[in-house]
Amino acid sequence: MMDYEKIKAGVQLLLEGIGEDVGREGLLETPDRIARMCQEIYGGLYEDPVVHLKKQFSVERNDMVIEKDITFYSVCEHHLLPFYGKAHIGYLPNGKVVGLSKLARTVDVFARRPQIQEKMTAQIARALEENLNPQGVIVMLEAEHTCMTMRGIKKPGSKTVTMVTTGVFQDNYELQNRFLGMVKQG
């Protein structure tokens, strides 16, 4: 469970640390507001993707399944600043598939934590691998990191792209290219 009092105290200290007047009207409710917001943006820490992935359907043909352009918002664990973008997921089933909305839910479980994009990409792939036992998984994330755009090297519009492949996708460039082609198609 989250400790709201600790979050509130922490936010208050941060504001005091930067020299703000925590008693002024605009900031009075801020610690409480942020504490409540944390449940929404970090609540994935208390969720297990298994919940979403355990309901499966049998299929006769193991054709590639792709769910693309899944919008996500996460928070970089190094700066606690947002990074956001699109997740694209593909897998080659092994007799079983999950509902498409469950892939988006799985992305959300991992996005709503302090994160780094590389780890998040791998976590999504592993969750599918472990719960669906497919022939292979490919996960690609494209995101803008505000810790690179509003601070640091300040390069708005730059995107970080990460990709993780498992099983048949690992060395099969034809399969990878088919996935990438489908993702890029309008």
Site residues, Zn ion (CB under 5 A):
76, 78-79, 147
Catalytic-residue membership of 52: no
User: In the complex, what is the shortest distance from the CB of residue 155 to Zn ion, in angstroms, rounded to a whole number?
Assistant: 13
Q: Which is nearer to Zn ion, 54 or 159 (CB)?
A: 159
Catalytic residue among 88, 115, 117, 176: 117
C-alpha 3: how far from its chain's center? 23
Active site residue 38: no
Can 76 be counted among the known catalytic residues? Answer: yes
Given 77, 118, 130, 170, the catalytic residue? 77
**DSSP letters along 28-88, please?**
HTHHHHHHHHHHHHHGGGG--THHHHS-EEE-SS---EEEEEEEEEEEETTT--EEEEEEE
Task: Please say which residue, 54 or 78, places its beta carbon nearer to Zn ion.
Answer: 78
117 is catalytic: yes
C-beta of 20 vs 144, nearer to Zn ion:
144
Q: Is 79 a catalytic residue?
A: yes
**Could you give phi then psi for residue 49, rounded to 5 degrees?**
-65, -20
How many CB atoms lie under 10 A from the CB of residue 45?
12
**Both tokens assigned to 87:** 């997740």
Q: How far is the CB of 119 from Zn ion (least distance, A)?
A: 13
Active site residues per annotation? 76-79, 117, 145, 147
